[in-house]
């Protein structure tokens, strides 16, 4: 288990209104060089369901979906030791500098995709507010797609 460096730049622009944070990219996402690259991760399906649009397939479509809907996307961790894709194995986490997003965009709300990103954000950014959403990971089998879409619909309050 060596140190992994986050390979994916954040997606945002000056019109971003919310920031969604994951913990650290999965092996599949690191290979794809874009967020939520594992075919069983439901992030893109959930976002499409919340926004009532088609599910994006390509990186270009995914970036367009985010930016057209004023959503910034990144991860809390810049580097860490991790075994495979397991959040539970994360050690020696170093945070990303979220200041570049906050200085560029008027972010109204920050949302964590699951407990690990929520807990890490709270540890590294004590003076910032964040809301925890249920993880879209396939490991979160307790949540159906419909239930995830329902819970994630709270993001619409700030879009």
Question: How confident is the model over 39-88, as pLDDT tens digits?
Answer: 899 999 999 999 999 999 999 999 999 999 999 999 999 999 988 888 77
Spatial separation of the C-alpha atoms in residues 34 and 10, rounded to whole Å? 9
Q: Which domains does the chain have, with CATH numbers?
A: 3-158 (3.40.470.10)
* Nearest partner of 91 among 4, 30, 33, judged by Cα: 4
pLDDT at 86: 80
3-state secondary structure of 127: coil
What is the value of pTM for the model shown?
A: 0.95
pLDDT at 97: 96
Spatial separation of the C-alpha atoms in residues 60 and 66, rounded to whole Å? 10
Question: How confident is the model over 80-131, as pLDDT tens digits?
Answer: 998 888 877 899 999 999 999 999 999 999 999 999 999 999 999 998 999 9
Contact between 90 and 1 under an 8 Å Cβ cutoff? The reply is no
Distance of alpha carbon 86 from the chain centroid: 15
Question: How confident is the model over 7-41, as pLDDT tens digits?
Answer: 999 999 999 999 999 999 999 999 999 999 988 99
Give strand pairing partners of 11.
73
């Amino acid at each position: 288990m060596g140190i992994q460096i986050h390979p994916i730049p954040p997606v945002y622009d000056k019109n971003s209104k919310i920031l969604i944070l994951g913990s650290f990219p999965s092996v599949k996402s690191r290979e794809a060089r874009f967020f939520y690259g594992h075919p069983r991760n439901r992030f893109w399906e959930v976002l499409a369901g919340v926004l009532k649009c088609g599910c994006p397939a390509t990186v270009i479509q995914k970036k367009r979906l985010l930016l057209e809907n004023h959503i910034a996307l990144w991860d809390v961790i810049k580097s860490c030791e991790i075994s495979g894709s397991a959040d539970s194995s994360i050690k020696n986490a170093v945070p990303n500098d979220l200041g570049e997003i906050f200085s560029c965009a008027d972010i109204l709300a920050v949302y964590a995709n699951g407990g690990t990103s929520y807990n890490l954000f709270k540890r590294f950014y004590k003076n910032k507010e964040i809301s925890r959403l249920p993880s879209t990971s396939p490991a979160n089998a307790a949540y159906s797609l419909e239930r995830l879409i329902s819970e994630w619909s709270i993001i619409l309050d700030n879009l």
